């Protein structure tokens, strides 16, 4: 014998009113001029029956499901969990749930995730875009479906058209410049970059950007190594280790910039495996500034993303759009954040020699 979830109908019946009456009362509608006695009765019955409205039915009826989806590229990366956590906190304050989809750093799978979210009829989507070209198309679909979309992405390349949707942008240039300047000052002349790419993701303009940055500071192209790996810690470790093992000492970088903190961790272990000390032999800089970074044996020097600010800005942008949905101030919004180099314990002067 199942005790079913109490429905509005049940509450109404037990309280001796019609369902709609119960509805108006429970929702504290101003035009509910029900007698004080009736109100009380309805509330009491609702309480007794443990009544909770069905979000599903509610959503179907009102068109809003009070839910916002986030497509998380990598649930195993603390950066994303930190972001999700902040976003969820911010949204919950306004009565919205956050629904996560984990796309596992697979570009193809990401579109599945988006569809899945849309099928569940959420109100809006926040989306980490790591490959503009590939993502534009299906993000457009979300808009067609009349969903609010906020993209989390780098700023559009100079000269490129503006993004067709709202976005929270994060500009890494300042952070990279600070980090590189810092390393150069410490005497480093051989650099490596370790970039984790999603399945199906193209390297974009990154190698060129790093090259430009370094050449402007007198580092020749042959002293600028660009390595790519997947988002598996294991792969990050393997790629850097194999590089170190495969190259003669003069090709070993003295400074490594890993494109996320997790990659920095994997690379540091690789360095250790090859008998190098950090930062003695190799200085390492990560990107993200995940909390974990400060609890490693060497506190990780990194390029910080303002995670909390970004998440809160995302929430606000989303919420504002939802609020003024129909008036639809069609102007595309964007807000840009900067990154910042944080010097800790994994960077030091290049050993004299």
Partner DNA sequence: TTGTAAGCGTTATCAG
Partner DNA sequence: CTGATAACGCTTACAA
* 8 A C-beta contact, residue 305 and residue 288: yes
DSSP string, 3-69: -PPPPHHHHHHHHTS-HHHHHHHHTT-TT----HHHHHHHHHHHHHTT----HHHHHHHHS--SEEE
Asked if 62 touches its own copies (CB under 8 A), the answer is: no
Using the rule CB under 7 A, which residue among 60, 203, 216, 336 binds DNA? 60
- Written as six digits, the tokens of 7 are 């429905």
Asked if 64 touches DNA (CB under 7 A), the answer is: no
Asked if 52 touches its own copies (CB under 8 A), the answer is: yes
In whole angstroms, the minimum distance from the beta carbon of 96 to DNA comes to: 16
Q: What are the backbone angles phi and psi of residue 167, rounded to the nearest 5°?
A: -150, 150
Number of residues this chain uses to bind DNA (CB under 7 A): 30
99: left (phi over 0), alpha (psi -120 to 50) or beta: beta
Cα–Cα distance measured from residue 63 to residue 66, given in angstroms and rounded to the nearest whole number: 9
* 8 A C-beta contact, residue 23 and residue 61: no
Sign of CA dihedral 285, 288, 289, 291: negative
Cα–Cα distance measured from residue 273 to residue 337, given in angstroms and rounded to the nearest whole number: 37
Asked if 17 touches DNA (CB under 7 A), the answer is: yes
Asked if 306 touches DNA (CB under 7 A), the answer is: no
Residues of this chain, 139-158, that bind its own copies according to CB under 8 A: 141, 144-146
* 8 A C-beta contact, residue 101 and residue 117: yes
3-state secondary structure of 316: helix
Using the rule CB under 7 A, which residue among 13, 38, 81, 84 binds DNA? 38
Of the two residues 57 and 336, which places its CB atom closer to its own copies in the complex? 57
Using the rule CB under 7 A, which residue among 2, 30, 35, 160 binds DNA? 35
Asked if 47 touches DNA (CB under 7 A), the answer is: no
Using the rule CB under 8 A, which residue among 23, 32, 64, 81 binds its own copies? 81
In whole angstroms, the minimum distance from the beta carbon of 88 to its own copies comes to: 6
19 binds, among DNA, its own copies, none (CB under 5 to 8 A by kind): DNA
33 binds, among its own copies, DNA, none (CB under 5 to 8 A by kind): DNA
Using the rule CB under 7 A, which residue among 28, 50, 61, 159 binds DNA? 61
Asked if 237 touches its own copies (CB under 8 A), the answer is: yes
Site residues (vs DNA, CB under 7 A)? 4, 7-9, 16-21, 23-24, 26-27, 29, 31-35, 38, 51-54, 57-58, 60-62
């Amino acid at each position: 014998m199942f005790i079913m979830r109490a429905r509005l109908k049940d509450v109404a019946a037990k309280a001796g009113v019609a369902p709609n009456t119960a509805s108006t009362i429970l929702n504290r509608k101003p035009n509910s001029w029900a007698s004080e006695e009736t109100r009380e009765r309805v509330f009491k019955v609702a309480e007794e029956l443990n009544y909770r409205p069905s979000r599903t039915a509610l959503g179907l009826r009102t068109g809003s499901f009070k839910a916002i989806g986030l497509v998380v590229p990598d649930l195993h990366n603390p950066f994303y969990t930190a972001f999700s956590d902040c976003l969820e906190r911010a949204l919950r304050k306004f009565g919205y749930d956050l629904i996560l989809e984990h796309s596992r750093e697979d570009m193809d799978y990401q579109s599945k995730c988006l569809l899945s979210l849309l099928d569940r009829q959420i109100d809006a989507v926040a989306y980490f875009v790591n490959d503009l070209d590939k993502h534009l198309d299906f993000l457009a679909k979300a808009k067609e479906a009349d969903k609010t979309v906020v993209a989390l992405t780098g700023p559009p390349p100079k000269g490129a058209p503006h993004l067709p949707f709202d976005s929270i942008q994060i500009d890494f240039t300042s952070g990279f410049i600070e980090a590189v300047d810092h390393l150069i000052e410490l005497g480093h002349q051989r650099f490596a970059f370790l970039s984790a790419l999603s399945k199906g993701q193209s390297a974009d303009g990154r190698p060129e950007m790093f090259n430009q940055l370094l050449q402007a500071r007198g580092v020749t192209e042959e002293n600028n190594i660009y390595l790519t790996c997947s988002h598996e810690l294991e792969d990050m470790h393997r790629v850097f280790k194999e590089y170190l093992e495969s190259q003669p000492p003069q090709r070993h970088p003295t400074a490594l910039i890993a494109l996320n903190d997790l990659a920095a961790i994997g690379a540091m272990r690789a360095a250790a495996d090859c008998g190098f000390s950090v930062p003695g032999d190799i200085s390492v800089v990560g990107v993200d500034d995940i909390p974990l970074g400060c609890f490693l044996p060497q506190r990780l020097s990194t390029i910080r993303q303002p995670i909390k600010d970004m998440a809160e800005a995302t929430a606000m942008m989303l919420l504002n759009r939802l609020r003024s949905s129909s008036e639809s101030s069609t102007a595309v919004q964007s807000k840009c954040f900067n990154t910042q180099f944080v010097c800790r314990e994994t960077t030091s002067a290049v050993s004299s020699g």
